[in-house]
Amino acid sequence: MKITFKKSDYDLIVQHSREALPNEACGLLGGVLEQDGTHAVRRVYTLTNTDASPYHFSMSPSEQFAAVKNIRENGWKLIGNFHSHPETPARPSDEDKRLAFDASLSYLILSLSTENPVLKAFRIENGNASETEILILN
């Protein structure tokens, strides 16, 4: 159970998250579910954090709908989402876990609390998070 994406998609997550500072940033991941369960990202959708807060995020529902439609038009699936932690490590908070309703998704967290950003991926089921491997392809 890993997640793969291109370096350019990784760079987009970092760029979007840095631009949103000091607030948390968020977005969706469209892609394909490979036979071995790997989530292969095909496109990163950067969304507005309607909370505009350094401590919380809520994805804009209208932007979510638009992204999901685009994902479907491309024959992909919604395979995950991401959000940033401006000042804290890349691990899901209690609220992140409580509000993770879809156990089929990869939940990515980018920490900007150190000079080099740290991206981690998790599956979250019934409030329990388990880290999964991330593979960045060229």
Partner 1 sequence: MSVALNGEKKDVGAEITIRNLLFKEKIKVHDYVTVQVNGEIISSKDYDSFVIKDGDEVEFLYFMGGGR
Which partner, partner 1, Zn ion, none, binds residue 99 by CB below 5 to 8 Å per kind? partner 1
| Contact flag: residue 43 with partner 1 (CB under 8 A) | no
Please select the residue that binds partner 1; options are 59, 108, 112, 119, rule is CB under 8 A: 59
| Contact flag: residue 96 with Zn ion (CB under 5 A) | yes
Which partner, partner 1, Zn ion, none, binds residue 88 by CB below 5 to 8 Å per kind? partner 1
49 secondary structure, DSSP code: B
| Contact flag: residue 85 with partner 1 (CB under 8 A) | yes
Burial annotation 2-41 (CB, 10 A radius, 16+ → b, else e): ebbbbeebbebbbebbeebeebbbbbbbbbeeeeeebbbb
Q: Which two tokens stand for residue 55?
A: 């401590």
